[in-house]
Structure 1
Amino acid sequence: MTIFPRRRLFSLAGGVAAGTVLMNQGVARAAGGPPATIPALQEWTEAAGQYTFAAGARILLASGQASELRNAADVLADDLRRVTGITPQVVTQATPAPQPGDILLTLTAPTPGPSDEGYELTVAASLRVRGAKRGVFNGTRTIVQWLRQTRTVNAGLARDWPKYPERGFLVANSAKKFTMQWWEGTIRELSYLKLNLLWIYVGYGLDNAADIRAIRDLAARYNVQVIPQHNMPDHMYLPLAERPDLQLSGRTGSLDLSKPAAYDWARQLTSSLLGDFPSSPHWHLGSDEYLLGSSYDNYPQLLAYARQRFGANAVAPDVHYGFVNDLNQTVRAAGKTMRIWNDGIFDNATVAVDKNVVIEHWTQWDNRKTPQRLLNEGYKLHNSNQDFLYYDPGSRYPGAANIYDNWRVGLFQGGQSVSDDSPGLLGAKIHLWTLDTEFEALQSDRLAPAFRSFAQLLWGSRKPFPTHAAGFAALSSALGRAPGFPVLRRQVAPVNQARSVWPRRVVTVQFQDPIVASSLLLTNGSPEGTSYPGTAAYDPATKLATFTPTNPWPYNVDVQLNLGARDAAGNVISPPALWSFRTARRPNNSYPRSIWNDEDGPHNEYVMEGRPLELGVKFRTDVPGQVLGVKFYKSAGDLGLHLGNLWSRAGANLGRATFTNESVSGWQEVRFASPVRILADTTYVASYNTRLGIYGYNRPGFAGSIDNGVLHGLQTGADGGNGVFKYGLNLFPNESFENTNYWADVVFMPDTYGLWNRSDAPALGATDPQSLEIGVKFSSSINGRVLGVRFFKGTHNTGTHVGSVWNGMGQRLASATFTNESASGWQEVRFANPVQIVAGQTITVSYSSPTGAWSATEQGLATERVNGSLRAPANGGVFAVGQGNFPTSTFNNRNYYTDVVFSHG
């Protein structure tokens, strides 16, 4: 079961309008029989009379059974309200006495069929459902489907039960974050069709504990059991990222089963997760694709350990079976039945997987046990036929007609066949393998017809139509989606509570269902009532609504969006959807500094790879300093813990810290416990990790160097590509792909900086007939120290140069002679003792030109220059005739490229 080849909820609420008879939808039913259902009834015996559902109808429970049946009654009452507009009252009586129109729910035994899911439903002046707890709930599903179509049902007796005990749906949610609205809609759908199992992946950091509890409890309310799955001993990229010592060499997702510590760790991890599902009788270990793409022969330690543990005749795969059996003991001690996929069960093993482990058969590879052999050996078998039952986004989908017309429960992948009546054949499930390439609502819509065909075959009653096209497709459409299935499905961007949104970001609402264009209401404004002008538009072809602001969104203000719409059926967004975002910015020229500014962000905001990644950026600085921490741009849905790392060019880790108090999306920042000193003109890598492989990107992102003051994101060149990545967590990212920018960043504080950067240079050079003192006026917004002077030298500027610093009164505070000058470019000299200055004080730095030579840019200081805490005013370039004189004269807003060497403090 490879993650590659195999692997929202919302829609019209009602389906068929209340009171519409199924025959009006073009679906025939036998005269005198009840309305058609999915799945069809096993038995129906006609009687005289009718039942009519009307206002005043009640749902009755016996006092002694109310605690067990109250949930079924409440769900039935809510569903009938949704499909008929009438809400029956739930009434408890010591001895229930139904009146015409009432519905009586009664616990009784035995029940029809081989399990406790069967029920009897008597239709007379009142409706009476009898069975075990689960069977009664199934009976209420039949009632909802009937009364959705008609308020009147002909009298008779329905006896109904499932042929197969396992009828379910697997969601590979480890690779995608589904909304809770999607989960609710999905669970309602399963319940509506009497599907009783939901497989979910747990322990991967995607769904937090609250989400898992909500899914578990919602499923229980709708008579659906959850089967939790945590993959072992492969597909363990996330958990093994924390235990690299237990990884197989070269396989970051594979557990090394030659290490006894791996077994202890796996048992502890499994035990910690089992307690989250006290009522589920199942636990899925995964156990698939161990060493897929490789061979046991490449890991001789596995064979050695197998023979050490199981004897001289053991084969290498026996370590896998021993691991399964060890974990089975842990699972059974918790009162649960363990399940595994079939692909790891070879023909030639000497160790047998425990017979009480359920085998879920999805593929028939060479040298693996066939479905019939597994049944013959006494295993219970579950059909996961990938040819019919797999949804792989972008490649294959479970077809409703293909399932109904061509599949049966005894037909396994590749045409392997067993009898549909095999005693060990438990049932089957549909699988959603969630590479994140489709909206969740689209996946729900594609799954809906398949669910209905699948539910019919798994119930095992006689097909109501010979083929899907002959009537079952129309029946599926007529019965509609489950009551309460969400309407007006949509995805908004930016996501709610996003931070660091671009100032000119266009707001979008991607609807998944058609809306009435004239009903669209997309307004905006802060809680204080401030509104922002813009243009709203809706494209019916793509169902995309947009709002384009006339002006940039303001910084550091919550912008509230209000969305209203209705669909053709009259459903409305009620109350109007509200969400908010804000831009955030610190001054782009401040220090400490990062490569990118707060309002920058990825052009492609979201991609998911479904496995842990370390994403980074190579950078250099012009001056030595301290790395205070790491930043990254977070995509919405990138849940779980994030760590920031600083690396040397050779891959040595220099610093690490855990991000806390993260926002939903946008820039996140973490500081190291102690700043890390780095050298000038030396390559380093800043990175962060995403456990879910979710990130934003630009491609290409490094066609040129990204310069921000003394800090530079490197252009791709001799130093290799930039940005960089590595699969895994806290691993040195040294791979690149098409110069992609993954929006990792650094927080850097230089030891010193000035007004101009190393890359800045004058436009011209000249020589006056007399010596000059050439400088610039500046101030600092904070207290600091002037350590020296810099200036840009042209090749014509010869002689000895002296740097000076002056206060506003013209007093020279320090001076020093430049030495070891280069022929041209930036020159720097340090004073013997730094000069302390205070915030707001006007200071001048200058250098002497004994030959009268200078370099400059005309109008280079037509506006002020700000860098970090330093500010040079407009027309702040100054000179004086005669070297050593205080420079105060100006000309043509000229910038003479004199600079200060400044440090904080």
Structure 2
Amino acid sequence: MVVRSRFTRNIARWLTATACVMAAAPGANAEPVVAQELPPTIPSIKQWISGGTGFTLGSDARIVADAASRGPAQRLAEDLTGIGKPVSVTGTGARAGDIVLVQTGDAPEPAESYRISSTDRLTISARDLPGIAHGTQTALQWLRQSGTIPGGSAQDWPDYAERGLMLDTGREFFPADWVKARIRDAAHLRMNMVQLHLSDSQGFRLDSRVHPEITSPLHYTAADIADILDYADSYGIEIVPEIDMPSHMNAILAQHQDLVLRPAHTSSADAQRDNLIAGGVGGKIDLTNPAAYQLISDILHEFVPMFRGRYWHLGCDEYISDYSRYPQLSEYATRVIGPDAAPGDVIVAFANWAADIVESFGRTPRAWNDGFDQAVTIAPKTEVVMQYWSSSAGGLPWLPGGRTPAELTAAGHPILNAAFTPAYFVTGGPAAALNAPPELLYAWDPGLFVNGSRLPDADRRLLRGSMLFLWCDDPEVMTPEQIVDPLRARLRVMAQQLWGGTGGVSYPEFVFRANAVGWP
């Protein structure tokens, strides 16, 4: 039996192999064969072909892994041992009852795809390390529910290249072990990316030796970061660091008041708006001051090399919505950028300058989309991956006024759908009232942007995927422990949406399956 669907329909409540009755041979007793059930997974697997005798985890089982797959093998061994199914890791001599990991290096299959063959041994093969890691998580989900897996083979692959979780540890500090636990949650759901929002109005969370004055009391040491990166690597998770600039810099600018951008005039309404956006006036660095660029250059040169992934997130959101309050930016634009430049070009010039630094370390820059909406004469570098969260130029995120997703992809930008609704989960503050329940996230799909638009077919290749975004606008409302359950409820929905879609399965049925799968 071959099953091919986005949310494999034969895994209904349990995917059940067709029951059959053995024909009795002459002189033999005829006994029925009990049908074997393939446990569900979250996200569901794309393809299952049943057949053969099946796999039973041996009492002295081992994980046999080549050197390239040793990290995921060790993590799987720890997870199985933790649920009372002890296994060891070895490099050779697979036998019945073992789990075998084989990294093939083959290129034709999609990145992160994997295969599982269930016979007298459970063999997980993939072209790359992320595929191996995903395969181990599918196997773990199965084996947590049953020590016996029916005979057959699975083939699985994701719909989207980027499937992740963002943690706002800039506002609410999360201990390193808590961050690692959320990396574990993401890996369990075959996600591949965790973005760390490392600075904001409440804190700068890295230990700076070049500028120790900007480091908050609660922060990650270099050893913490190395430990987080090693842990993420072993699960096939890529860490995307973000130090938000040139706005949301309150913690950095607390000891650099001479670099704060200050309006020429203000009112009570302006002050209220500033307090809601980007953490107040004190959160914006003055891009007309040469010393601002030196400080930012120091920070980038210190911390970009600390992280080993492909990306560095520059921020670039919520800088200025009303440039009339900052005439110094208009003067700077025409004097430095060009006579026809607008003040909105200043942040684009900044982003391109910062992107050059990031690229000098072999990293690809990322940014929030809204900071570039009011540019006139220059455009951000096309290499910048745009995380599209808002369609307005400084207003509510779902209102018009800013550049559309299609305009950005037409210019060549890869784009990630960071739709304010429903991809955000905000722990406190006014935006928390707009949190989408998991049911609404389940009804969404990652191709639908916050303004209700979709990319034209020709540009769909530029849509990287999405994330679940955890924001802590008021860090006092929820403790890290209180955040876990509502975050997990949404994370498993986002994982299913990004891996293969929901395929018409009802949300209550999805929850039933998710509860059967549980958490490691």
Same fold per superposition (TM over 0.5) = yes
Q: Given the alignment, which residue of 293, 300, 311 partners 1:263?
A: 293
Matched, 1:439 2:479: yes
CA distance in 1 between counterparts of 2:153 and 2:130 reads 19
Relative contact order higher in (CA < 8 Å, ≥ 6 apart): 2
Using the TM superposition, give the Cα deviation of residue 252 of structure 1 relative to its aligned residue in structure 2, in angstroms: 1.7
CA distance in 2 between counterparts of 1:464 and 1:351 reads 43
1:348/1:173 CA distance change after superposition, 3 Å: closer
Using the TM superposition, give the Cα deviation of residue 347 of structure 1 relative to its aligned residue in structure 2, in angstroms: 5.8
1:310/1:379 CA distance change after superposition, 3 Å: same
Q: Residue 415 of structure 2 corresponds to which residue in structure 1? A: 381
Q: Residue 455 of structure 1 corresponds to which residue in structure 2? A: 495
Matched, 1:410 2:406: no
CA distance in 2 between counterparts of 1:59 and 1:379 reads 42
> Does structure 1 conserve the Cα–Cα contact (< 8 Å) formed by 2:47 and 2:155?
yes
TM-score by length of 2: 0.81
State the one-letter code of the partner of 1:371: P
Q: In the TM superposition, what whole-angstrom CA distance separates every residue of 1:418-463 from its partner, at most 9, and x where no partner exists? A: 3688000001111111122112222111111211111011112x53
Q: Residue 362 of structure 2 corresponds to which residue in structure 1? A: 335
> Does structure 1 conserve the Cα–Cα contact (< 8 Å) formed by 2:388 and 2:418?
yes
Q: Residue 378 of structure 2 corresponds to which residue in structure 1? A: 351
1:419/1:149 CA distance change after superposition, 3 Å: farther
Using the TM superposition, give the Cα deviation of residue 121 of structure 1 relative to its aligned residue in structure 2, in angstroms: 1.2
What aligned pairs does 1:89-104 form with structure 2 within 5 A after superposition?
89-93=88-92, 96=93, 98-104=94-100
> Does structure 1 conserve the Cα–Cα contact (< 8 Å) formed by 2:247 and 2:283?
yes
What aligned pairs does 1:59-458 form with structure 2 within 5 A after superposition?
59-61=63-65, 65-66=66-67, 68-83=68-83, 85-93=84-92, 96=93, 98-110=94-106, 113-115=109-111, 117-131=112-126, 132-202=128-198, 204=204, 205=216, 206-209=218-221, 210-250=223-263, 251-277=281-307, 279-292=308-321, 295-346=322-373, 349-365=376-392, 366-394=400-428, 395-396=432-433, 397-404=435-442, 406-418=443-455, 422-434=460-472, 435-436=474-475, 437-458=477-498
Q: In the TM superposition, what whole-angstrom CA distance separates every residue of 1:480-521 from its partner, at most 9, and x where no partner exists? A: 11x2xxxxxxxxxxxxxxxxxxxxxxxxxxxxxxxxxxxxxx
SS in 2 for 1:248: coil
What aligned pairs does 1:528-547 form with structure 2 within 5 A after superposition?
none
What aligned pairs does 1:708-719 form with structure 2 within 5 A after superposition?
none
Using the TM superposition, give the Cα deviation of residue 211 of structure 1 relative to its aligned residue in structure 2, in angstroms: 3.3
> Does structure 1 conserve the Cα–Cα contact (< 8 Å) formed by 2:370 and 2:402?
yes
Using the TM superposition, give the Cα deviation of residue 191 of structure 1 relative to its aligned residue in structure 2, in angstroms: 0.9
Q: In the TM superposition, what whole-angstrom CA distance separates every residue of 1:851-894 from its partner, at most 9, and x where no partner exists? A: xxxxxxxxxxxxxxxxxxxxxxxxxxxxxxxxxxxxxxxxxxxx
CA distance in 2 between counterparts of 1:452 and 1:89 reads 29
> Does structure 1 conserve the Cα–Cα contact (< 8 Å) formed by 2:53 and 2:151?
yes
SS in 2 for 1:413: coil
CA distance in 2 between counterparts of 1:120 and 1:383 reads 29
> Does structure 1 conserve the Cα–Cα contact (< 8 Å) formed by 2:64 and 2:89?
yes
CA distance in 1 between counterparts of 2:296 and 2:177 reads 33
What aligned pairs does 1:736-747 form with structure 2 within 5 A after superposition?
none
Give the number of the structure whose alpha-carbon radius of gyration is greater: 1
> Does structure 1 conserve the Cα–Cα contact (< 8 Å) formed by 2:58 and 2:98?
no
SS in 1 for 2:51: strand
Q: Given the alignment, which residue of 3, 6, 15 partners 1:29?
A: 15
CA distance in 1 between counterparts of 2:293 and 2:81 reads 52
CA distance in 2 between counterparts of 1:34 and 1:180 reads 36
What aligned pairs does 1:486-497 form with structure 2 within 5 A after superposition?
none
State the one-letter code of the partner of 1:51: F
CA distance in 1 between counterparts of 2:346 and 2:292 reads 12
Q: In the TM superposition, what whole-angstrom CA distance separates every residue of 1:740-761 from its partner, at most 9, and x where no partner exists? A: xxxxxxxxxxxxxxxxxxxxxx
1:111/1:192 CA distance change after superposition, 3 Å: farther
> Does structure 2 conserve the Cα–Cα contact (< 8 Å) formed by 1:54 and 1:86?
no
CA distance in 2 between counterparts of 1:119 and 1:349 reads 46
Structure 1 residue ranges without an equivalent (≥5):
1-24, 484-905
CA distance in 2 between counterparts of 1:475 and 1:77 reads 24
> Does structure 2 conserve the Cα–Cα contact (< 8 Å) formed by 1:50 and 1:152?
yes
State the one-letter code of the partner of 1:428: S
State the one-letter code of the partner of 1:439: T
CA distance in 2 between counterparts of 1:218 and 1:398 reads 31
SS in 1 for 2:366: strand
TM-score by length of 1: 0.47
CA distance in 2 between counterparts of 1:184 and 1:350 reads 43
CA distance in 1 between counterparts of 2:177 and 2:511 reads 26
SS in 1 for 2:401: coil
Using the TM superposition, give the Cα deviation of residue 184 of structure 1 relative to its aligned residue in structure 2, in angstroms: 2.9
What aligned pairs does 1:665-814 form with structure 2 within 5 A after superposition?
none
> Does structure 2 conserve the Cα–Cα contact (< 8 Å) formed by 1:344 and 1:368?
no
State the one-letter code of the partner of 1:357: V
State the one-letter code of the partner of 2:220: N
Using the TM superposition, give the Cα deviation of residue 113 of structure 1 relative to its aligned residue in structure 2, in angstroms: 4.3
Structure 2 residue ranges without an equivalent (≥5):
1-10, 19-36, 205-215, 264-280, 393-399
Q: Residue 621 of structure 1 corresponds to which residue in structure 2? A: none
Q: Which has the higher helix share?
A: 2
CA distance in 2 between counterparts of 1:26 and 1:334 reads 48
> Does structure 1 conserve the Cα–Cα contact (< 8 Å) formed by 2:345 and 2:374?
no
Q: Which has the higher strand share?
A: 1
> Does structure 1 conserve the Cα–Cα contact (< 8 Å) formed by 2:176 and 2:220?
no
> Does structure 1 conserve the Cα–Cα contact (< 8 Å) formed by 2:343 and 2:375?
no
CA distance in 1 between counterparts of 2:444 and 2:345 reads 34
State the one-letter code of the partner of 1:248: L
CA distance in 2 between counterparts of 1:58 and 1:226 reads 30
Using the TM superposition, give the Cα deviation of residue 398 of structure 1 relative to its aligned residue in structure 2, in angstroms: 4.2
CA distance in 2 between counterparts of 1:81 and 1:377 reads 50
> Does structure 2 conserve the Cα–Cα contact (< 8 Å) formed by 1:303 and 1:315?
yes
Q: Residue 273 of structure 2 corresponds to which residue in structure 1? A: none
Using the TM superposition, give the Cα deviation of residue 213 of structure 1 relative to its aligned residue in structure 2, in angstroms: 3.2
RMSD: 2.0
State the one-letter code of the partner of 1:387: T
> Does structure 2 conserve the Cα–Cα contact (< 8 Å) formed by 1:112 and 1:160?
no
Using the TM superposition, give the Cα deviation of residue 87 of structure 1 relative to its aligned residue in structure 2, in angstroms: 1.2
> Does structure 1 conserve the Cα–Cα contact (< 8 Å) formed by 2:62 and 2:89?
yes
Percent identity (aligned): 33
SS in 2 for 1:447: helix
> Does structure 2 conserve the Cα–Cα contact (< 8 Å) formed by 1:361 and 1:383?
yes
SS in 2 for 1:315: coil
SS in 2 for 1:71: helix
State the one-letter code of the partner of 2:381: D
Q: Residue 42 of structure 2 corresponds to which residue in structure 1? A: 38
CA distance in 2 between counterparts of 1:347 and 1:175 reads 27
CA distance in 1 between counterparts of 2:245 and 2:494 reads 29
Using the TM superposition, give the Cα deviation of residue 134 of structure 1 relative to its aligned residue in structure 2, in angstroms: 1.6
Q: Given the alignment, which residue of 472, 477, 485 partners 2:510?
A: 472
Q: In the TM superposition, what whole-angstrom CA distance separates every residue of 1:95-154 from its partner, at most 9, and x where no partner exists? A: x4x221111111103257432x11111111111111112211111011001111111111
State the one-letter code of the partner of 2:144: R
Q: In the TM superposition, what whole-angstrom CA distance separates every residue of 1:264-289 from its partner, at most 9, and x where no partner exists? A: 32112211111221x21111111100
